[in-house]
Structure formats: C-alpha cells, structure tokens
C-alpha cells in the first residue's frame, strides 16, 4: 500500500493505493477514513484499489468552509489524475454514493461501471428513521466505544445491530484517524441542498444499486427510486443487511459487487459493444409511484 498526498483547492488530501490491475475507486461515507475499507479491499486482490480521505476526514486537512458534494466530484477526478488512471470502476457508499453520482454525471469518461451502495438521490429521496438520522449529527461515534455500542443498533441496523463482536471490531477501525468535529460538520453541511434527481437519467453507465432491507438510514425505496431514474441500472436488495453492510457483511457484499464488476466474458463483451455515448439513448424508466415530499432532505452517513 502506498500513501500519497495531493493538493486540491487549498487542501492536502490523503490518497491510498493498493495492489495492481484494473482500477477500482472507492468513495466512503460521512466521516469515514481509508482504513475502514481494508476488509473490503482484501476481497479484490487483482484490482488496483484507490481510496481517499475527503477534506475534514482521515489524514486530509480540514477545510474552513463546507465543500459541496458537487465540488467533491472534481476531487475524485484529481485523485484519478494523481494515479495516472484515465477511468475506473467506482463504488460509492452512502455519502460517497452521492459523490459517485455527481462524478459519473460530470466525468462520464472516467467511469467504467458504477456501484451505488446504501445511498440516495438527496432531495426527492425517501428520508430514513428520525432517530437514526439524529445520530448522525455528531461524530461522537468515532470517539466513544460506549456511545457507538449504545446507538449503533438504532442507527445502522443489520449485523452491526445484532453482534457485539462486530460492533467492537468496527469501533477499532473508527478510532483510527477519526474526523475532526469541525471537519465532520463541514462535510455534513456540504450535502445540504444536494440532489441528483435531474442528473440520473443522463448517467450512462451500467450501474448496480445495492442496499440492505434493515437499513434505518436509507430505506430500500431509495434504491428503487435510483434504479428507476438511471438508464442502465439493476437493483439488488440484501436480506437482513443494514447500512454498514460493506463493512459488517464484507464477505457477502464483496462477492455481490465483485460479481457485478467482473461479469462472465460473454456479458462483458456484449457491454463493450455499446459505446459510452450511445448509452445516453437508453430509455428512462418511469418515476416511482411513491416519492418523498419536495421539501424532504436526506443526510448521508
């Protein structure tokens, strides 16, 4: 593994690169750092894994003001540039899923396949449980094992809710390079007012929209909504999985995502026959029957 730092909009951004092979760019959730991806990365030994700490998280510097989700799309492009990677498969988790949607829209030539995990379109999305969302207003869960243990079940669901062992293991990784309180607040504020609603029909990539059915933060209606707006999306609902399924059910999720990113050869050749520009001509499915109130806002963990 190599650790590099790039300069972007006055910030010193930490970039981690692991392995060789086809590039895979990972975008994490609110307050998360690159180390939290380590169990997931081990399932992709034949890929060149690229991760970065968003400003205010991990080893990156803390910005004096909020950086909007739309601006972080430019950071993702700068990260690929720093690695001399013209295009990569992209996995965006939760808050990182918002950045991934923006990135795929603004830089379609930089994305091969797209995975959107436990995420929403922002405004127009379906809000999660109020108590779960309230737990995201503070980064205390990154500092206090007691607080994380007490609130994790209601906030995240899934294996994190069911297993003390899982919670203790995850707490250890959370305590490595936690976000600064101010940096966490800046990242949280950066999502305010963001939406991909109008962008989704213009994202041409083959996309896996995956979520768990025990996620208090991002109800499964969000996955169905995203897939209905994206021209080339498939939806996968993981039974019993919660919000942190990429980390607390890593074997299961890495298998599902790996299967999507490495399809059978015949399917891969069929996809290769479709030029990227031509994908914009795919018909868009009708909108879902149920949508959130236009005033609804979603917080990305």
Q: Any idea what the CATH number is for the domain that residue 185 is in?
A: 3.40.50.1820
User: What is the model's pLDDT at position 174?
Assistant: 85
pLDDT digits (tens, 9 = 90+) for 218-273: 999 999 999 999 999 999 999 999 999 999 999 999 999 999 999 666 454 555 44
For residue 228, tell me if it sits in a domain. yes
Residue 294 tokens, joined: 């236009």
**Residue 27's domain spans which residues?**
2-273
Query: Which residue out of 16, 73, 82, 94 is catalytically annotated?
Result: 94
Question: Length of the chain in residues, anyone?
Answer: 301
Q: Which helix (H) or strand (E) holds 91?
A: strand 88-93
For residue 253, tell me if it sits in a domain. yes
Low-confidence ranges of the chain (pLDDT < 50): 266, 268, 272-300
For residue 292, tell me if it sits in a domain. no
User: What is the model's pLDDT at position 1?
Assistant: 84
Q: Look at the chain and report how many structural domains it folds into.
A: 1
For residue 193, tell me if it sits in a domain. yes
User: What is the model's pLDDT at position 267?
Assistant: 53
User: What is the model's pLDDT at position 266?
Assistant: 46
For residue 293, tell me if it sits in a domain. no
60 is catalytic: no
For residue 286, tell me if it sits in a domain. no
- pTM value surpassing 0.85: yes
User: What is the model's pLDDT at position 173?
Assistant: 84
Q: Are the CB atoms for 231 and 203 separated by under 8 Å?
A: yes
């Amino acid at each position: 593994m190599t650790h590099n730092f790039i300069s972007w909009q006055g910030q010193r951004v930490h970039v981690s690169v692991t392995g060789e092979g086809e590039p895979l760019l990972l975008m994490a959730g609110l307050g998360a750092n690159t180390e939290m991806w380590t169990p997931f990365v081990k399932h992709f030994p034949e890929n060149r894994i690229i991760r970065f700490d968003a400003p205010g998280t991990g080893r990156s510097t803390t910005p004096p003001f909020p950086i909007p989700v739309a601006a972080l799309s430019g950071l993702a492009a700068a990260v690929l540039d720093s690695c001399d990677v013209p295009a990569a498969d992209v996995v965006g988790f939760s808050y990182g899923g918002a950045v991934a949607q923006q990135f795929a829209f603004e830089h379609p030539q930089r994305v091969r396949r797209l995975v959107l995990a436990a995420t929403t379109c922002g405004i127009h999305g379906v809000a999660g449980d109020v108590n779960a969302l309230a737990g995201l207003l503070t980064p205390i869960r990154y500092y206090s094992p007691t607080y994380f243990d007490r609130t994790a079940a209601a906030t995240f669901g899934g294996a994190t809710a069911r297993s003390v062992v899982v919670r203790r293991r995850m707490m250890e990784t959370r305590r490595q390079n936690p976000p600064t309180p101010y940096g966490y607040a800046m990242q949280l504020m950066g999502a305010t007012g963001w939406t991909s609603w109008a962008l989704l029909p213009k994202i041409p990539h083959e996309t896996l929209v995956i979520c768990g059915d025990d996620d208090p933060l991002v109800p499964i209606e969000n996955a169905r909504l995203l897939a209905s707006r994206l021209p080339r999306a498939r939806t996968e609902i993981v039974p019993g999985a919660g919000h942190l399924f990429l980390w607390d059910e890593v074997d299961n999720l890495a298998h599902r995502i790996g299967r999507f990113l490495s399809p059978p050869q015949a399917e891969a050749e069929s996809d290769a026959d479709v030029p990227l520009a031509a994908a914009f001509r795919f018909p868009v499915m009708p909108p879902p029957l149920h949508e959130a109130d236009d005033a609804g806002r979603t917080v990305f963990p």
